[in-house]
Amino acid sequence: MTFFLNENFPKSAVGILDEMGHRVLDLRGTGREGLSDGAIFAEAQQFRAIFLTTDRDFFHTIRHLHVSHAGIIVIALRLPNRRSILEKLMWILGRIRPEDIADRAIQLRDRSWIARVRPSIHVSSSGL
């Protein structure tokens, strides 16, 4: 899998995911830091990368703007720290198949998690 770290996600996730055989992309130190949410998410999607963030806005808004995406994992804890964020990431990666992440926004909370798929657009036909 390919992951794209938002600037607020612990940089130590790079080593952990790399050891697991995943590809990890991170804008920090590239001169492209500080892009808008939409721009950074669009860049992640150019690589078909699962977007990792602690920014709850991605769970509530960005997923509605893209018909298809590689997936979003938002870790939204009351008292986040590097260790607890990485523990939640490892927990979900151990319980969900890679193919079940695509087109879903997954939010991990302290004691629960939720996954949402972008609302479907239904087209009806009159049969004419």
Residue range 92-119, pLDDT digits in tens: 999 998 888 999 999 999 999 998 886 5
Question: Which residue would you say has higher pLDDT here, 86 or 34?
Answer: 86
Handedness of CA 50, 81, 77, 114 (dihedral sign): positive
Residue range 22-79, pLDDT digits in tens: 999 998 878 777 788 888 999 999 999 999 999 998 888 876 777 789 999 999 999 9
Q: Residue 112 has what pLDDT? A: 94
Q: Residue 127 has what pLDDT? A: 36
When pLDDT is cut at 50, 70 and 90, the band that residue 91 belongs to is very high
Q: Residue 126 has what pLDDT? A: 36
User: Which residues make Cβ contacts (< 8 Å) with residue 127, sequence separation at least 6?
Assistant: none
The separation between CA 77 and the C-alpha centre of its own chain, rounded to angstroms, equals 15
The DSSP bridge partners found for residue 117 are 104
H helix or E strand, kind and range, residue 105 = strand 104-108
**pTM to 2 decimal places:** 0.87
Distance CA 125, CA 111 (A): 44
The separation between CA 107 and the C-alpha centre of its own chain, rounded to angstroms, equals 9
β-strands 113-117, 104-108 pairing: antiparallel
Distance CA 4, CA 34 (A): 15
CB neighbour class for 59 (10 Å; exposed up to 12, middle 13-18, buried from 19): buried
Q: Quick one: tokens of 48?
A: 């078909």
